[in-house]
Amino acid sequence: MKQLSLILIFIYSTSIVSFGQNKKNYKIIFTDPASVVNAIFYAAQTRDFAIMQCLNDPYGESDGDVNGLCSISNIAKQIKEDGENENIKKGLDEFVKYFESGRITGEITYSEVDGIEYAEVPFWFNHPGGESRSNEVMKLVNRYGNWYLSGF
């Protein structure tokens, strides 16, 4: 009986260790526009908001919606540094609500304007304005072979 107890304790403890190791960080593949958009959904699902800071156009030519999305990492950092603020927490919770069930819904299309390559990724998210506004297109810009959020 003592041996059986030791075996059960060993199995239980190894399952806890392996369970904790299953959590994987999302690795963005910047050469794939879908991977960049999926990083938004990953951030909402896991509350790993730091990933959002590297999605914005490094040239600073993204629209206000994208700037707001990418600022989520700064908002989360502010909570860690200054403590929880109800308004800030509400903003993070809204981001999670809108994007945690998001998904890419179609084919990526590519275009070029003035020598700059763009991609459009259709996606669905939980838009606060209702179902009719939940189908969107995320626009990305290619900078030196890597894709970054540009607008939606």
pLDDT attached to residue 139: 98
User: Cα dist. 39→74, 86, 115 in Å?
Assistant: 16, 26, 27
In a domain? residue 107: yes
- Please say whether the beta carbons of 118 and 109 come within 8 A: no
Percent of all residues in the chain with a pLDDT value above 90, rounded to a whole number: 58
Alpha-carbon Rg for the chain, nearest whole angstrom, is 20
The total number of structural domains in the chain stands at 1
Closest CA to 73 of 86, 56, 85: 56
In a domain? residue 103: yes
Structure tokens at 56: 């914005």
Q: Is the pLDDT of residue 16 over 50?
A: no
CATH of residue 70's domain is 3.10.450
Q: Is the dihedral of CA 110, 139, 136, 23 positive or negative?
A: positive
DSSP state of 21: H
pLDDT attached to residue 82: 67
Q: Is the pLDDT of residue 152 over 90?
A: no
Angle at 56 between CA 122 and CA 42, to 5 degrees: 60
User: Cα dist. 131→10, 48, 80, 124, 152 in Å?
Assistant: 49, 26, 34, 9, 16
What residues make up the domain containing 57?
Answer: 31-151
92 vs 88: CA distance, rounded Å: 7
49-100 per-position pLDDT tens digit = 999 999 999 999 999 999 999 988 887 777 666 666 777 778 888 899 999 9
Mean pLDDT within 30-59: 96
In a domain? residue 22: no
In a domain? residue 17: no
Q: Is the pLDDT of residue 5 over 70?
A: no
In a domain? residue 7: no
